[in-house]
Amino acid sequence: MPIIAPSFLASDFLRLADECTMVNESEAEWFHLDIMDGRFVPNISFGLPVVAAIRKTTKKVCDVHLMIEEPGNYAEAFKNAGADNLCVHIEACPNLHRNIQQIKSLGMRAGIAVNPHTPVNFLSDILHDIDFVNLMSVNPGFGGQEFIPFTLTKIAQLRQMIQERKLSVLIEIDGGVTFENAKEIVTAGADVLVAGSTVFKDKDPKAAIARLKSIG
């Protein structure tokens, strides 16, 4: 069964404590927290204080996705705020190996996010150094977008690369995950489903999480 990571970008920020309680009581394993800087992506979300506040509410994994430029300047701060996983974009990191080593030296699991236009073979020389890949199945920066179908091909390609090298790297799918496509995504080789609107906009979010969990 897949790991379910509700994306708090789609949560009700006026009821954030209640949303955290719901996810804590659900079958979800990860809290997915999207950080946007208005530079790498054309949007601004939330930052360190919100991550630190959410961290106080949960013992579950805080999966922090940095959609920002110069992520190395903030890695230690996000560790201090409570991140368990820290994911940086390959497109934002000209010295990617240095970024990954920094994240690991701080005691976090290191991930690389890949935009829809970026081939997975760009990960070839660093795949053995990371814990997970976040395959963006929408263009980063906004919630509520539709899943890009070609992502299924990229999942299969990445799964083959991981298996051939006998690695334990997880594949995380971020964007447009629904009840209708979750099974196909997991069958293609995904391990982690990031779901925002599908969870938080449902009339029964906890049941929505359970349904996604069972689909896999």
**18, 34, 63, 125: the active-site residue:** 34
Burial 164-190 (b: 16+ CB within 10 A, else e): eeeeebbbbbbbbbeeebbeebbebbb
Q: Does residue 37 have an active-site annotation?
A: no
Residues constituting the chain: 216
34 is in an annotated binding site: yes
97 among annotated binding-site residues: no
Is 128 flagged in the annotation as binding? Answer: no
- Is 117 annotated in a binding site? The answer is no
- Nearest 5°: the CA angle 3, 8, 11 is 125
Would the annotation count 143 as a binding residue?
Answer: yes
124 assigned binding-site residue: no
**Residue 12 is among the residues annotated as catalytic for this protein:** no
d(CA 123, CA 77): 26
Please state, in angstroms and as integers, the Cα–Cα distance from residue 60 to each residue in 11, 77, 127, following that order: 17, 19, 25
Q: Any binding-site annotation on 18?
A: no
Q: Which of 37, 63, 131, 174 is catalytic?
A: 174
Binding-site residue ranges for a divalent metal cation: 32, 34, 65, 174
Instruction: Indicate which residues carry an active-site annotation.
Output: 34, 174
Binding-site residue ranges for substrate: 7, 65, 141-144, 174-176, 196-197
Binding-site residue ranges: 7, 32, 34, 65, 141-144, 174-176, 196-197
